[in-house]
């Protein structure tokens, strides 16, 4: 699979007029001290609901979700996801047999949802499944069939393709039901979704031989640009821009790394420029600006660490 980061964030928001509703399941076996199953719901990349096998409850992660949806909605969602949890724990066992595995840490991940362009009216559905970080199955909604890129998934694809009634139900969900809920959630959260929060920007370095990271966090909406300048000129050499990551509070974070020796940056002026909503924040690379203690910047929730979205 394209990595958990892409599963949780995706690349479906091509422009400001496109909205997405997305759910991600993560089922694991052989991993201690973490829930065996987690379900995360997201609207436009913002976490709106969550379920895990430890709490056994589906809960709102945004106030406007709690305010607009009654307890019956959450109770019903909890019961439905419990059934899904059991199904995917069974699926892990099936996959282990297919791959001739008897033990170890293994993961099944599912991402599904829909997009809606509020300017053109165009809609799109998507569902893909992965095993141990690799693509396993995906649903081709145009051809209305499941496809597996690996031999071990072909049996499942054939079985699911034979069930035409279930395929039609999937088609109805992605073309109608998912879009209806997407529009409802957009209406419920319209005041919150229009908010603007500026990023907090810090320069980080684990050691003198490590890359210098320009870290922007706590911003909303998610569109941000991080670039580097050297002596007043745009600088692209030895620069690596990281993925956009969600924070638990609905804001986002992003990092750009610059590989440069202490001798070089002390002789030259390097500036990190973070642009967000028409505002530019500049941080000059100096010894004083560098923060080596990253613990204060780690997300408050351990879920993101568990899902591979952050390593503190």
Whether residues 156 and 211 fall in one domain: no
Residues 51 and 90 placed together within one structural domain of the fold: yes
Domain boundary among 163, 193, 223: 193
In a domain, 306, yes or no: no
Report if residue 33 sits inside a domain. yes
For residue 309, being part of any structural domain is answered with no
Last residue of a domain, one of 193, 216, 231: 193
Co-location of 237 and 151 in the same domain = no
Choose one of 164, 193, 222: the last residue of a domain. 193
Give the Å distances, CA to CA, from 140 to 5, 25, 36, 134, 295: 22, 19, 28, 18, 42
pLDDT at 301: 39
User: pTM surpassing 0.75?
Assistant: no
Q: Does 124 share its domain with 258? A: no
Does 81 lie in the same domain as 9?
yes
Whether residue 18 lies inside any domain: the answer is: yes
CB 110 within 8 A of CB 33: no
Task: Measure the CA–CA gap between 24 and 129, rounded to whole angstroms.
Answer: 10
DSSP H or E stretch at residue 305: helix 303-306
Shared domain for 76 and 159, answered yes or no, is yes
CB 67: neighbour CB atoms within 10 A? 10
Q: Per-residue confidence of the chain (312 residues) as pLDDT tens digits?
A: 333 333 443 333 333 468 899 999 999 998 888 899 999 999 988 889 999 999 999 999 999 999 999 999 999 999 999 999 999 999 999 999 999 998 989 999 999 999 998 878 899 999 999 998 899 999 999 999 999 999 999 999 999 999 999 999 999 999 999 999 999 999 999 887 767 889 999 999 888 888 999 999 998 888 899 999 999 999 999 999 999 888 877 788 999 999 998 889 889 999 999 999 889 999 999 888 886 434 444 444 333 333 443 333
Judge if 173 and 204 occupy the same domain.
no
CB atoms near residue 3 (< 10 Å): 14
Q: Tell me how far the alpha carbon of residue 12 is from its chain's centroid.
A: 11
CA 116/CA 136 separation, integer angstroms? 26
User: Does any domain span residue 301?
Assistant: no
List the one residue out of 199, 201, 200 whose CA is nearest residue 220: 199
Q: Is residue 93 part of a domain?
A: yes
Same domain flag for 185 and 264: no
State residue 40's pLDDT score.
Answer: 95
Which residue range forms the structural domain that includes residue 166?
Answer: 4-193
CATH of the domain at 103: 3.30.500.10
Looking at the structure, tell me whether residues 146 and 40 fall in a common domain: yes
Cα–Cα distance, 44 to 22 (Å, whole number): 8
Could you tell me if 148 and 243 lie in one domain? no
**What is d(CA 286, CA 180) in angstroms, rounded to the nearest whole number?**
51
Same domain, 90 and 230: no
Q: Give the model's pLDDT for residue 158.
A: 96
Reference 238, options 266, 210, 263, 219; nearest CA is 210
Residue 258, CA atoms < 13 Å, CB-side half-sphere: 28
d(CA 219, CA 268): 29
On whether residue 120 sits in a domain, the answer given is: yes
Strand bridging mode 145-147 / 279-284? unpaired
Structural domain contains residue 78: yes
Q: Do residues 91 and 138 both lie within one domain?
A: yes
What three-state secondary structure class fits 76?
Answer: helix
pLDDT at residue 86 in the model: 93
Counting the structural domains of the chain, the total is 2
């Amino acid at each position: 699979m394209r990595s958990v980061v892409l599963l949780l964030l995706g690349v479906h928001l091509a422009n400001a007029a496109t909205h997405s509703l997305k759910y991600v399941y993560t089922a694991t076996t052989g991993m201690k001290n973490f829930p065996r199953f987690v379900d995360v719901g997201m609207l436009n990349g913002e976490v709106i609901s969550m379920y895990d096998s430890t709490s056994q409850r589906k809960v709102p992660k945004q106030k406007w979700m709690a305010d607009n949806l009654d307890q019956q909605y959450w109770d019903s969602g909890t019961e439905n996801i419990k059934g899904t949890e059991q199904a995917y724990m069974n699926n892990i066992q099936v996959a282990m047999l297919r791959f001739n595995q008897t033990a170890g840490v293994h993961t099944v991940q599912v991402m599904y949802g829909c997009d809606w362009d509020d300017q053109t009216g165009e809609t799109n559905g998507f569902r893909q499944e992965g095993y141990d970080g690799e693509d396993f199955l995906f649903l081709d909604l145009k051809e209305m069939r499941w496809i597996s890129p690996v031999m071990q998934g072909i049996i499942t694809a054939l079985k699911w393709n034979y069930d035409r009634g279930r395929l039609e139900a999937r088609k109805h969900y992605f073309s109608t039901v998912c879009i209806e809920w997407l529009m409802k959630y957009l209406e419920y959260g319209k005041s919150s979704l229009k908010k603007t929060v500026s990023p907090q920007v810090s320069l980080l370095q684990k050691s003198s031989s490590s890359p210098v990271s320009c870290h922007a966090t706590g911003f909303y909406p998610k569109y941000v640009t991080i670039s580097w300048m050297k002596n007043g000129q745009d600088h692209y050499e030895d620069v690596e821009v990281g993925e956009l990551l969600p924070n638990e509070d609905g804001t986002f974070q992003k990092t750009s790394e610059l590989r440069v020796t202490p001798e070089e940056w002390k002789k030259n002026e390097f500036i990190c420029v973070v642009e967000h909503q028409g505002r530019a924040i500049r941080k000059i690379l100096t010894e004083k600006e560098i923060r080596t203690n990253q613990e204060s910047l780690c997300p408050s929730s351990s879920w993101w660490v568990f899902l591979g979205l952050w390593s503190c």
